[in-house]
Structure 1
Amino acid sequence: MTSPATNISVTTGTPQITLVNVFTVAPERQNDLVEALDEATRSIFTKIPGFISANLHVSLDGTRVVNYAQWADEASYSAALRRPEVRRHVEHSAGIAQGL
């Protein structure tokens, strides 16, 4: 489950930012969270200027989901967070994770 990016790398000396979000989730909800994050990446984030990529990783015990996302710069990321559809996604995903 990744965005359509073809070249993902961490670079220095550029305004690019990388975010690593670690969600704690009940094991029976891990798949729900992965699906919500993957759907939001495909339907929301890939359409927002400055978005580069997102990759999801799951723990074997089912209690963690890691979302590794890259943005062109901090301004693009900050602007995305002000969008209503992004705020709804953040609240929805947090609700799944907090349903421990």
Structure 2
Amino acid sequence: MSSTTISPDADLITLVNVFTVTPGRQTELADALDRATRDVFLAVPGFVSANLHVSLDGRRVVNYAQWAGEEQYEEALRRTDVRAHIGQVAAIAEAYDPTLVRVRSVHHGRQA
């Protein structure tokens, strides 16, 4: 089982997708993303992990998803089941901004 590794040394790419939702739909969107991760993405080659974050103001959901590489991510986008998921989530969200990134650096605070 893979886990999230946030390190500039990890040979991974990360999808950071910030979704905006109308007030009251944040849970619906997060539930849809959770379902898609369990039902679709866990079986997609190259998928490593997904971490969902919900904003305290109830207006955003952030998906931090790691992939083995850009090619695997692009291949996933061509799959029918993945396209169906994207359509379902797009119908809930007001807007979304998917961005592929690499970890550049990691900093940790001093422990008391």
TM more than 0.5:
yes
CA distance in 2, matches of 1:61, 1:91: 25
Look up the match of 2:22: 26
Structure 2 unaligned runs (5+)?
Answer: 96-112
CA distance in 2, matches of 1:12, 1:60: 28
Q: Which has the larger radius of gyration?
A: 2
CA distance in 1, matches of 2:36, 2:19: 15
Aligned length: 95
With a CA cutoff of 8 Å and minimum separation of 6, indicate the structure with the bigger relative contact order: 2
Structure 1 unaligned runs (5+)?
Answer: none
TM-score by length of 1: 0.87
TM-score by length of 2: 0.78
Map 1:58-77 → 2, pairs under 5 A: 58-77=54-73
2:35 counterpart (39, 42, 53): 39
Q: CA RMSD in A?
A: 1.7
Superposition misfits of 4+ residues, deviation over 6 angstroms: none
What amino acid sits opposite 1:41 in the alignment?
Answer: T
What amino acid sits opposite 1:17 in the alignment?
Answer: I
Per the TM alignment, residue 13 of structure 1 is displaced from its structure 2 partner at its CA by: 5.4
Per the TM alignment, residue 11 of structure 1 is displaced from its structure 2 partner at its CA by: 3.4
